[in-house]
Structure 1
């Protein structure tokens, strides 16, 4: 028996590895693999970090009190219903540890965020994966049918990562109305800032109607703070209390707390940057449609190419064109919307891809 087999639980040893987006080995290569924004650190964030570095010998505020208060004011939600974490992924992990239990089932869409099944398995639970629709959307009716007395939680992701498809408010409202009250529902809105469609989900309105709902947000995407790891949950105070109880002591560092407060106060610049990315998304989507490429209608800062067994070949061609992208096995390739030059290189890779297919 190997030492690791003696030391660790079998489900931990069997965990699939999370695959991060590739970092370019060449400064001329553009990274479009991790859904980061292409903009430099927000000026107010940079100033806040510089002002906070002199107190790093002290532990941070364990409950991120000031940041929670700012978030409460921003969302018009009670302070007691806000839980700040070391990125929204850490909050997902803590939530699952708190509610799943041995062999508890968690219903989730698939494919979706790669960390979900890893976190479920690590918590001792069983992932019940409900396939997406042909359009890359959640099969909400299928997810409802998958709920059983063994279900301990439901995970939702809108816009969905990696397909980019978002639910409408009417769809999600109808779904939540049928989920049993004893089953908590976690709504991951990491990419909510990029949604510009009509009938979009109003999660704050849904929170007021459903005490078993938890909404997750992050500073890693639109706010450009992926390197600092800060996210938060919005929930009813009783739900938030349970999540807060299992939180890692001092889990959110002082620099991240200061930076998040500054980012929250930079709404005008954040909005301008998001609108720039949405414009780029629209330009790429129009170009793809004109050339006959079929991709799901993305409401996020990325596009999904379902190339199946040809995914690896397309990934390699993207590398030749000077961009890194995120391949998901033999299912497809996700490409982040970033600077315009990245879009130009993406179209170049697609041209090469099409030429190869024609030659076969």
Structure 2
């Protein structure tokens, strides 16, 4: 029996780091407003349903009572043909986040001497990074973004020391949107010791249209310490099925497979991803329609006088600072959910045309937008 005077030592407690971790905040659903169709613009989801061929593949998968292939062989073979890389260089995971967790579990943590590895990354970036890094036992080294929402690669290189084990490069950067350029990444890699793993997180790669943007697969071909993260959640519209993967050289994948959680990609998810790759031309066409919408939204915001970072993802970043919560609440009042980051800004996903138009209308009436007098 527990007495009123019991201390925390009398109850089960998590590791101390858990109490210090930020909480991951998923995008909220939109409010239900009479007379208005609700639109969720808070989670960077693809608003388009998967291809009919993908739905058919999902319906055809009946062996739910069986464990999936732990190596996702069909998917890795399909990706090998699509990316022109060896299948052995691909390790699947539960989304790109699952693939990242495998990397961190393998290469970042606390060493036998008790000194934690350090993981260097830009901030603000993907909000799961600090959670994943510190859960793995490593230490976060956050390098502030530049004023225009870009990675400060010079400062990131300067932050590398003898304890650095992994560097994360998020391109396009979530939530701010800018993409890393090929030349600057090559220069950055040249400054980093070859025993430091460089992870290029390309969850939004299919939405990039900048011809000078870095291509993670090309970087991996050149550098044995580069790992690429990609996902089927965004462009392919399979977020609910959790299909991601990493691409790296055999001396890295051999260790990743030791730490990989078995059976993370279900047979249903694998078949869906394979079917989507088999119809990649249709996927590309759909992605282009979302890029066109992104460009319409960007042009609309610029016409209103809003100032914000260049975006190559399926979202835009509004650097609203202290006004972020107010704007997010106003959006909810218009049956739009957006992703607010307290005192920093608001990320708005590119969604259905009507939802995007309503968002632009809200911006036209909001007097405190960045750049407005």
The alpha-carbon distance between structure 1 residues 7 and 170, as it changes in their structure 2 partners (threshold 3 A), is same
In structure 2, C-alpha distance between the alignment counterparts of 1:355 and 1:261, rounded to whole Å:
46
The residue aligned with 2:99 is: 91
Q: Deviations over 1:280-304 (max 9, x none)?
A: 1111111111111001110010000
2:42 pairs with 1:33: yes
In structure 2, C-alpha distance between the alignment counterparts of 1:165 and 1:73, rounded to whole Å:
29
Determine if contact 2:204/2:314 at 8 Å carries over to the other structure.
Answer: yes
2:356 pairs with 1:347: no
2:24 pairs with 1:18: yes
The residue aligned with 1:47 is: 56
Please give the secondary structure, in 2, of the residue aligned with 1:57: coil
TM-score (norm 1): 0.96
2:119 pairs with 1:72: no
272, 291, 295: which one aligns with 1:278: 291
Structure 2 residue runs of 5 or longer lacking an equivalent are 1-6, 111-115
Determine if contact 2:31/2:335 at 8 Å carries over to the other structure.
Answer: no
The alpha-carbon distance between structure 1 residues 310 and 56, as it changes in their structure 2 partners (threshold 3 A), is same
212, 228, 240: which one aligns with 1:227: 240
The alpha-carbon distance between structure 1 residues 354 and 185, as it changes in their structure 2 partners (threshold 3 A), is same
Q: Deviations over 1:185-214 (max 9, x none)?
A: 111000000000121212222111110100
Determine if contact 1:130/1:139 at 8 Å carries over to the other structure.
Answer: yes
Pick which of 218-227 and 172-181 moved more.
172-181
The residue aligned with 2:113 is: none
297, 321, 324: which one aligns with 1:308: 321
In structure 2, C-alpha distance between the alignment counterparts of 1:34 and 1:148, rounded to whole Å:
35
2:274 pairs with 1:254: no
2:335 pairs with 1:322: yes
In structure 2, C-alpha distance between the alignment counterparts of 1:180 and 1:5, rounded to whole Å:
45
The alpha-carbon distance between structure 1 residues 292 and 120, as it changes in their structure 2 partners (threshold 3 A), is same
290, 296, 304: which one aligns with 1:291: 304
Determine if contact 1:5/1:13 at 8 Å carries over to the other structure.
Answer: no
Instruction: Tell me the number of residue pairs that the alignment of Structure 1 and Structure 2 aligns.
Output: 357
Question: 1:25 Cα deviation (Å)?
Answer: 4.4
In structure 1, C-alpha distance between the alignment counterparts of 2:10 and 2:295, rounded to whole Å:
49
